[in-house]
Structure 1
């Protein structure tokens, strides 16, 4: 029975979003109607899952019910199982999350909201943009709150703001799929370019000669970590490269 099912508690991030809404008296950016349409399309056409899987993630959905449903769809997709109304409902029930997802009736209604999945990528991007705005509001609210706290170190606040914004960008970067022939062609071009470079810098020059001798410049897809105590000039160093 649905009434006996247990459900996950809302994520900490969802709780923060509710607090933000209460604090500023405004509803955070969201589009519940589009969330319903996208989820309905994903249960009707497997291709719709392929087109949105790199755009959306669980937290992208504002309505907690939709987070449960999206997670069930992803679980089925990852297991290469059929994704449809029946399998999604069964997966939610198996996870003890059907009641939290609105019940079987609500899940069924989502498929009735879909006339066509032709514009699903466009709809998914709108959902993603609304989520990014909510995250910006959340981080800004946390920074404002902490900035009023005299016990907080100002450089720690700067690092907190920087890392928060970086995390948003990192989690919402559009993934691009390239063919093997293009990857090989690009790699050969990079090798030829590095071979013909007389100064030994195969990447992007940092502007510091000694550093370039060690690293051969900033390399593409390298994760560069600049570590130092607060106030030692990390930001100034990065801005000067």
Structure 2
């Protein structure tokens, strides 16, 4: 090349960059303005290492947004309008951008090189910021870790590949083509919850979905989540791996609940040792089923988004069963990403819910996340059924979630009414791809277990 490339201070520091690939991208656009759309689908001005390349790409973007042609003349004029022509080394540098281009352009390859180098620089910057905060030791280590995690996740989201697909590509990607796509019996269904009416209303939990299960204390949100998790892991027709992140209960406590629930044995009797021979036989059978199930429990307190991401990814590559569900109990106990000293709890919980949604999409597995409710249902006169506005420190939980479900047991508010004993409702307050409504269930107090209504199963009512 006849023109010497002026190297920026950032490039001189040895950060990853490929200046010639950047020139190739810009030069290809000057020779073929239609190439800008391809480049802009992946790159932003900030992805270029040199300041002048960032400026040139930004002015190309301005021309494109005004539906004006991009060439040497229009680009130079646009730079002069903003007083930036000299800052990009003048007309001679613009004229040199398309020098040395091969006869056959490989624009996508050039774009990928620029994108990859940009990603490396961003990761280095995030790492250096984390190192600096660690050296200063002014913040809590957990906050520093959460901030690093949030920064890396945001980089990954920003660098997501172009996923635009035509209708034809979507049809062709379906096994069996368009006929399979249109056949309801051949469409992929979500993971069954074990509750007939809930499956009918939701179609099961689908990969990439964030499902929020919220309730006031003592309503049974952990019990329902464990019932669903156990069904997914022990489904004889199609068992799937389940990961439970418990930030509140220990592994032993969770396992006790699971075994007693499956065996239909009173937990209190089990803990105190007052169990019959029949109870022992049922407990042994339940323990054997769970022993063989692909069910994994993590009770680490302070589990972060980064922890969940790393542990689930590692597990996916080490097990034979497909991953069917991730349960997080519960959202408000997760450490807050560090958003600065002026951030409030609503912003922090919003960052957590957004991060969990991104993980569910990236890992291609449904996330069932438990959440607290505010005191509003208790203070509401008359009908105490929860609403979306009752989500505690909600922020963007409602926006991020594909489904929001509430648990309501009227007997909690009317303890003197025997006719309400055992009645439970799962209220679908939001469902992005389906209807809202109420699913009626039975709650068995002795076993801390939810079950289908007898009429849904065509069987006599379960005994308490």
1:115 matched to 2:185? The reply is no
1:203 aligned partner: 206
C-alpha distance after superposition, 1:135-184 (max 9, x if no partner): 11111111111011222111111111111111211111111221134557
1:85 matched to 2:77? The reply is no
Q: 1:128 to 1:196 in 2, by over 3 A?
A: closer
The number of residue pairs the alignment matches comes to 207
Taking the TM superposition and a 5 Å limit, the aligned residue runs for 1:106-185 are 106-116=93-103, 118-183=105-170
Question: Are the aligned partners of 1:65 and 1:100 in contact in 2 as well (CA < 8 Å)?
Answer: yes
Deviates more, 1:111-120 or 1:85-94: 111-120
Give the 4+ runs in structure 1 shifted more than 6 A.
184-187, 205-209
TM-aligned CA deviation for residue 51 of structure 1: 2.3
Q: TM-score, normalised by structure 2?
A: 0.39
2:340 aligned partner: none
Q: Which has the larger share of strand?
A: 2
Question: Are the aligned partners of 2:190 and 2:206 in contact in 1 as well (CA < 8 Å)?
Answer: no
TM-aligned CA deviation for residue 91 of structure 1: 1.0
TM-aligned CA deviation for residue 234 of structure 1: 4.2
For structure 2, the residue ranges without an aligned partner over 5 or more in a row are 1-7, 175-180, 212-221, 233-246, 248-300, 313-325, 327-464
Q: 1:120 to 1:212 in 2, by over 3 A?
A: farther
CA distance in 2, matches of 1:56, 1:31: 14
- Which of 188, 195, 202 pairs up with 1:193? 188
More relative contact order in 1 or in 2 (CA 8 Å, sep 6+)?
1
CA distance in 2, matches of 1:156, 1:87: 49
Question: Are the aligned partners of 2:146 and 2:304 in contact in 1 as well (CA < 8 Å)?
Answer: no
For structure 1, the residue ranges without an aligned partner over 5 or more in a row are 1-14, 218-227
TM-aligned CA deviation for residue 86 of structure 1: 0.9
1:101 matched to 2:68? The reply is no
Q: 1:33 to 1:237 in 2, by over 3 A?
A: closer
**Structure of higher CA gyration radius:** 2
Q: 1:124 to 1:212 in 2, by over 3 A?
A: farther
Q: 1:150 to 1:198 in 2, by over 3 A?
A: closer
TM-aligned CA deviation for residue 233 of structure 1: 3.5
CA distance in 1, matches of 2:158, 2:44: 9
Question: Are the aligned partners of 1:44 and 1:111 in contact in 2 as well (CA < 8 Å)?
Answer: yes
CA distance in 2, matches of 1:96, 1:29: 29
Q: 1:237 to 1:36 in 2, by over 3 A?
A: closer
CA distance in 1, matches of 2:108, 2:137: 45
Q: 1:99 to 1:163 in 2, by over 3 A?
A: same
Question: Are the aligned partners of 1:89 and 1:104 in contact in 2 as well (CA < 8 Å)?
Answer: yes
CA RMSD of aligned residues (A): 3.6
- Which of 274, 296, 303 pairs up with 1:233? 303
Q: 1:85 to 1:141 in 2, by over 3 A?
A: same
Question: Are the aligned partners of 1:73 and 1:88 in contact in 2 as well (CA < 8 Å)?
Answer: yes
1:62 matched to 2:76? The reply is no
Which secondary structure state, in structure 2, belongs to the residue aligned with residue 148 of structure 1?
helix
Q: TM-score, normalised by structure 1?
A: 0.72
2:386 aligned partner: none
Question: Are the aligned partners of 1:193 and 1:202 in contact in 2 as well (CA < 8 Å)?
Answer: no
Which secondary structure state, in structure 2, belongs to the residue aligned with residue 112 of structure 1?
coil
Question: Are the aligned partners of 2:28 and 2:98 in contact in 1 as well (CA < 8 Å)?
Answer: yes
C-alpha distance after superposition, 1:92-135 (max 9, x if no partner): 11122212222122111112232335211101111111111111
1:35 matched to 2:22? The reply is yes
1:224 aligned partner: none
Q: 1:194 to 1:110 in 2, by over 3 A?
A: same
Q: 1:47 to 1:116 in 2, by over 3 A?
A: farther
Q: Which has the larger share of helix?
A: 1
